[in-house]
């Protein structure tokens, strides 16, 4: 809640093995410390270097008039071993995240559908509870934050992605790695206008016509989408974007990444370039393309 804005409301669902008062006090301390850093001139990128900075803490610390109220939704009663207890907590947290719609809009659309979203931009949960401690899944979930219409969430997500991707960029510099000469012609290929051929091939596929479609400019859909690789930060332009027929969401596809090192699977198929899922840079609804 925000004393300066009666319409401001954000929701967050979490889990803890300690008393709820203890966990709430930790969040308050982190938010207060972050507010001091922000007031002192630290950027969002600077605070990402500090451990334990969640989206909840960042949004809370962005204004001195904001407060959060914590309440207990449930308590585990009974004895569970060390393997079953985390699984039970993750499943229950996932249930409440969907109930209160505290996840990001793109994630909620996948589980609840487009018509079931009441407050799509009020959630502060990023990663799915089922993916706890999975770094790759967490980075993918952070990309989903870019679909939000809340500038604070987008600002946090971009800073977080840059923080996660910088070590990979520095490692490539240490290795003096550059795209091989065989990959250089791909830059020229991307400059050609392949749109007429791509659109014609799509219309010839019956499976394509039942699921996806080309952009419709009069509906406000872009004919060119800037996309990036979440593993290395490579950016390019999708000049032939694809949209889902039923949801209108942009379809994320596996495309050439000129900076990623080809994997063993790529080499097996004799590919001289890596293929990665490229996500939209600007906030917009997206889904993974499936045939």
Answer yes or no: do 53 and 155 share one domain: yes
CB 278 within 8 A of CB 253: yes
Answer yes or no: do 261 and 146 share one domain: no
Chain centroid to Cα 192, Å, comes to: 30
Determine if the pTM surpasses 0.85.
no
Answer yes or no: do 47 and 158 share one domain: yes
**For residue 164, which of 140, 192, 187, 181 has the smallest C-alpha distance?**
140
Answer yes or no: do 25 and 162 share one domain: yes
Q: Which residues contact 74 (CB under 8 A, 6 or more apart)?
A: 92, 96
Q: Is residue 31 part of a domain?
A: yes
CA separation, residue 120 to residues 114, 155, 251 (Å): 10, 17, 19
**For residue 243, which of 289, 196, 195, 278 has the smallest C-alpha distance?**
289
Q: Is residue 73 part of a domain?
A: yes
What's residue 187's pLDDT? 43
Answer yes or no: do 190 and 142 share one domain: no
CA separation, residue 291 to residues 202, 205, 209, 282 (Å): 12, 11, 11, 25
CB 240 within 8 A of CB 201: no
Q: What percent of the chain has pLDDT over 70?
A: 71
Burial class of residue 105 in the structure, from the number of CB atoms within 10 Å of its CB (0-12 exposed, 13-18 middle, 19+ buried): buried
Answer yes or no: do 136 and 218 share one domain: no
222-255 pLDDT, tens digit per residue, is 989 998 888 777 788 888 888 988 888 898 988 8
Q: Is residue 186 part of a domain?
A: yes
Containing structural domain, residue 273: 178-288
Q: Is residue 1 part of a domain?
A: no
From CA 279, how far away is CA 225, in angstroms rounded?
Answer: 9
Q: Is residue 90 part of a domain?
A: yes
Q: Which tops the pLDDT comparison, 54 or 125?
A: 125
Confidence tier at 192 by pLDDT (50, 70, 90) = very low
Answer yes or no: do 249 and 142 share one domain: no
Confidence tier at 186 by pLDDT (50, 70, 90) = very low
Tokens of 98: 């969907």
What's residue 270's pLDDT? 54
Residue 18, SS3?
coil
82-134 pLDDT, tens digit per residue, is 778 888 888 999 999 999 999 887 778 778 876 777 776 789 998 888 876 55
Element (DSSP H or E) covering residue 87: helix 84-99
């Amino acid at each position: 809640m925000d004393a300066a804005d009666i319409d401001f409301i954000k929701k967050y669902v979490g889990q803890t093995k300690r008393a709820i008062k203890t966990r709430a006090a930790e969040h308050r301390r982190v938010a207060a410390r972050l507010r001091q850093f922000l007031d002192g001139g630290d950027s969002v990128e600077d605070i990402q270097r500090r451990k334990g900075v969640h989206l909840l803490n960042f949004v809370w610390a962005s204004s001195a008039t904001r407060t959060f109220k914590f309440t207990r939704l449930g308590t585990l009663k009974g004895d569970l071993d060390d393997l079953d207890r985390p699984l039970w907590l993750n499943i229950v947290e996932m249930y409440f995240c969907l109930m209160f719609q505290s996840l990001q809009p793109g994630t909620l659309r996948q589980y609840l559908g487009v018509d079931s979203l009441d407050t799509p931009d009020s959630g502060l949960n990023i990663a799915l509870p089922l993916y706890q401690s999975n770094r790759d899944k967490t980075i993918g979930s952070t990309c989903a934050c870019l679909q939000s219409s809340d500038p604070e969430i987008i600002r946090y997500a971009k800073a977080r992605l840059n923080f996660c991707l910088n070590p990979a960029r520095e490692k490539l510099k240490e290795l003096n790695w550059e795209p091989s000469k065989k990959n250089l012609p791909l830059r020229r290929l991307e400059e050609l206008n392949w749109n007429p051929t791509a659109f014609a091939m799509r219309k010839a596929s019956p499976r394509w016509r039942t699921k996806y479609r080309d952009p419709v400019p009069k509906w406000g859909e872009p004919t060119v989408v800037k996309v990036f690789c979440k593993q290395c930060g490579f950016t390019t332009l999708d000049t032939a974007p694809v949209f889902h027929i039923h949801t209108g969401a942009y379809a994320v596809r596996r495309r050439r990444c000129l900076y990623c090192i080809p994997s063993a699977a790529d080499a097996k198929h004799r590919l001289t370039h890596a293929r990665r899922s490229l996500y939209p840079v600007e906030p917009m609804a997206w889904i993974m393309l499936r045939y």
